Amino acid sequence: MKGIVFKEFADMLEATFGADMYDSLVEACDLPSGGVYTAVGTYDHTELVALVIELSKRTGLDPTTLVQAFGKYLFGRFHELFPVFFNHDNAFSFLESIENVIHVEVLKLYPEATLPRFDSELAEDGNTMHLTYYSTRHFADLAIGLIQGAFEHWGEEVQLSMEDLTTGDEQKVRFTMVKA
């Protein structure tokens, strides 16, 4: 997983809980990286999992809730850092661009990146979208937060449901989104 994700998680923790919380989480988790991340570095995603689990223990918040909140936060940060990818009229248009535009550009910069895959399907009426997430990292909750961040960004109300279709090592989740 690219270091930018870890750096943004650390920044969110520091802004929400203070720098001491992040430092104590890193110490408690005994991470191979030592909790020091560069934006362009690549790190094992299990370090982020360890940090979330430890944060959950300390705050009493469910790991799913924490990861989804981080996804929303990360959407906002990506919008600030990479505004060129957000020139869309609505969230569905943006979500359709993830696999064939955004991830293509990310791989040009970071060919070693292992990105999740997204298949999108927009209904003819334009009010329903199916987005299928595939990843060996099992971070569908992060994807949910990012998706929710997109709808908040474009001020759209959408009913979001999730169907877990995982059968092997790769997580497969189908999100169905219906405009309200």
Tens of pLDDT, residue by residue over 84-100, are 999 999 999 999 999 99
Has this prediction a pTM greater than 0.85?
Answer: yes
Mean pLDDT of 103-113: 91
Give the other-Cβ count within 10 Å of 140's Cβ.
Answer: 24
Residue 19: the pLDDT is: 85
Residue 137: the pLDDT is: 94
- Which residue is it, tokens 């960004």? 153
Residues forming a β-bridge with 144? none
Distant-in-sequence, close-in-space partners of 165: CB < 8 Å, separation ≥ 6: 132, 172, 173, 174
**d(Cα 20, Cα 122) in Å, to the nearest integer?**
45
Task: Kindly list the distances between the CA atom of residue 121 and the CA atoms of 126, 127, 133, in Å, as whole numbers in the listed order.
Answer: 10, 11, 12
Q: Considering the chain, what is the average pLDDT of its residues?
A: 96
